Amino acid sequence: MPLTSMNIGWIHVTAPHLGTASHTVAVEFPPAAWGGARIGISEYSESTGQTAVAGSIIRLRHRLPSGADQTEGVNFRGAAWHANLSSVTFRLFVVSGVAEASWTIYRWD
């Protein structure tokens, strides 16, 4: 089964000193025979010694054989794969600092 498409994007978040901030990105696409996604921290900068950064996939949606869509919460995963994948939601969470993450979606038909 050949790789038929790949989508790439970035998330940037700035959290105030001793505060928190997050940004969520939902990407929707036609169901693929098989799909996968990953998120990785590409850079961060500390504003205190208590900076924390987490990039994760928080939700997947896939098409069931009946034609209905099923959504699954998958908090705190850096990568996920599923048959008939049709949507992925990514989140970048930062405590007291600045961070950027890149995400990628792979599709095989």
Whether this model's pTM surpasses 0.75: yes
Predicted confidence pLDDT, tens digits, the chain (109 residues): 788 899 999 999 999 988 999 999 999 998 888 999 999 999 999 887 889 999 999 999 999 999 999 999 887 789 999 999 999 999 999 999 999 999 999 999 8
Output the CA torsion 54→82→74→47 (10° steps): 10
Q: Give the model's pLDDT for residue 32.
A: 83
Q: Give the model's pLDDT for residue 78.
A: 93
Structural domain of 61: 3-108
Residue 61's domain is classified under what CATH number? 2.60.40
Residue 43 makes CB contacts below 8 A (sequence gap 6+) with: 99, 100
Written as one letter, the residue type at 69 is D
Q: How many domains does the chain have?
A: 1
Cβ(101)–Cβ(25) below 8 Å: no
